[in-house]
Amino acid sequence: MSGTNNQPTAQRGGRHPSSLVDSQLAHLENMVQYLTRGDAVSVLVPLDHEYWEKRIRVLEETHELIASQRKRVIKLLDQLGSEAQIKPRRRTAA
């Protein structure tokens, strides 16, 4: 028995392989698209732009992304950023 770990889930720096990203990116793309539609604002109040941006950033930081996946991440962040500028966050009275 050797002392090496042969699991393919983490590569250098503890990052996961890019093969695990596509389904997560698809989910994030669907959610960002839903969030940026006008009718979603009242439904997803706790899951605002900041939440989805954090989810995208975590994915970006924990996986080895290939060029096409990086483009998808950039597009998602751009969509969220544009939408956040158009619709200022609602503030609640403290």
pTM of the predicted model, to two decimals?
A: 0.67
Q: How many domains does the chain have?
A: 1
How far apart CA 25 and CA 30 sit, in angstroms, is: 9
Alpha helices (runs of H) in 1-94, residue ranges in sequence order: 22-36, 49-62, 67-86
DSSP class of residue 94 equals -
Question: What's the token pair of residue 68?
Answer: 């096409």
Contact at 8 Å (CB) between 36 and 53? no
> What are the pLDDT tens digits along the chain (94 aa)?
444 444 444 444 678 888 889 999 999 999 888 877 765 555 545 567 888 999 999 999 999 999 999 999 999 999 988 876 666 554 444 4
Output phi, psi for 29, to 5 deg.
-65, -45
pLDDT the model gives residue 93:
47
> Where in the sequence is the domain holding 54, given as residue range(s)?
18-86
Task: Let me know if residue 10 belongs to a domain.
Answer: no
Output phi, psi for 63, to 5 deg.
-130, 150
pLDDT the model gives residue 9:
45
